Amino acid sequence: MESPFSLKDKVAVVTGGLGLLGKQHCDALSEFGAHVVVCDLNEDQCRAFAKTLSTESIGIGIDVTDPETIKTLVKRVLSEYGRIDILINNAAVNDAFESPALSLQTSRLEHYPLSMWQKIMEVNVTGVFLCSQIIGTQMMKQGKGSIINIASTYGMVGPDQSIYRSPEGQQTFFKSPAYAASKGAILALTRFLATTWGATGVRVNALTPGGVENHQEGFFIQNYSLKTPLGRMARVDDFKGAIIFLASDASDYMTGANLVIDGGWTAW
Ligand X SMILES: NC(=O)c1ccc[n+]([C@@H]2O[C@H](COP(=O)([O-])OP(=O)(O)OC[C@H]3O[C@@H](n4cnc5c(N)ncnc54)[C@H](O)[C@@H]3O)[C@@H](O)[C@H]2O)c1
Could you please report the per-residue DSSP string of 177-208? HHHHHHHHHHHHHHHHHHHHHGGGTEEEEEEE
The correct pick among 63, 161, 219, 221 for binding ligand X (CB under 6 A) is 63
The correct pick among 22, 59, 145, 263 for binding ligand X (CB under 6 A) is 22
Closest CB 2 distance from ligand X, rounded Å: 30
- The interface region with ligand X, picked from 11-19, 107-115, 198-206, 243-251 by CB under 6 A, is 11-19
Local structure of 38: helix, strand or coil: strand
The correct pick among 19, 33, 159, 184 for binding ligand X (CB under 6 A) is 19
Give the per-residue contact string, 208-237, with ligand X (x = CB under 6 A; - = no).
Answer: -x-xx-------------------------
Local structure of 164: helix, strand or coil: helix
Nearest Cα neighbor of 239 from 43, 14, 35, 85 is 14
Closest CB 151 distance from ligand X, rounded Å: 7
Residue 60 to residues 15, 70, 89, 157, Cα–Cα distance (Å): 10, 10, 15, 35
Under rule CB under 6 A, residue 64 binds ligand X? yes
Closest CB 103 distance from ligand X, rounded Å: 19
Q: Note the maximum CA span of the chain.
A: 59
Which residues, at least 6 apart from 60, have a Cβ–Cβ distance to it below 8 Å?
37, 38, 39, 43, 46, 73, 76, 77
88-147 binders of ligand X (CB under 6 A): 90-94, 123, 127
- The interface region with ligand X, picked from 13-21, 28-36, 76-84, 195-203 by CB under 6 A, is 13-21
Nearest Cα neighbor of 22 from 234, 243, 184 is 243
- Residue pair 60/77 in contact (Cβ under 8 Å)? The answer is yes
Under rule CB under 6 A, residue 255 binds ligand X? no
- The interface region with ligand X, picked from 62-70, 75-83, 158-166, 188-196 by CB under 6 A, is 62-70
- The interface region with ligand X, picked from 57-65, 107-115, 156-164, 196-204 by CB under 6 A, is 57-65
Residue 246 to residues 146, 149, 172, 206, 250, Cα–Cα distance (Å): 7, 10, 36, 9, 7
Under rule CB under 6 A, residue 21 binds ligand X? yes
- The interface region with ligand X, picked from 29-37, 86-94, 98-106, 158-166 by CB under 6 A, is 86-94
Interatomic CA distance for residues 18 and 41, integer angstroms? 9
Closest CB 69 distance from ligand X, rounded Å: 8
Identify the burial level of 111 via C-beta atoms within 10 angstroms of its C-beta, where 0-12 means exposed, 13-18 middle and 19 or more buried. exposed
Under the rule (CB under 6 A), what is the footprint of ligand X?
15-16, 18-22, 40-41, 62-65, 90-94, 123, 127, 150, 152, 209, 211-212
